[in-house]
Amino acid sequence: ASFVGNCEVISLGCYSTICQAFKLLKVRQRAYPFDWVRSSMEGIMHCFNTDFEDFLTYTASRQEDDLTVC
């Protein structure tokens, strides 16, 4: 338990359940970019390799009623 208490736990999972598990285990201290987004490992690695330069851009979208979903 003391090891985890001295570490910063960061969610790099492909889905938000990783972050939810960290919250339930009470080891999540801060919010990070991949906490609540669905990402492939390639996408995560791309962000780190490019210093997140295009993290907020998207290449696909769809219409749902009056909303554009990215």
Q: What average pLDDT does the segment 17-38 reach?
A: 85
Contact 55/47 with Cβ under 8 angstroms? yes
**pTM for this one?**
0.61
What whole-number percentage of the chain has pLDDT above 90?
11
Domain boundary assignment for the chain: 2-69
21: buried, middle or exposed (CB in 10 Å: 19+, 13-18, 0-12)?
middle
Beta bridge partners of 69: 62
Q: What average pLDDT does the segment 19-47 reach?
A: 86
Give the per-residue pLDDT at 1.
54
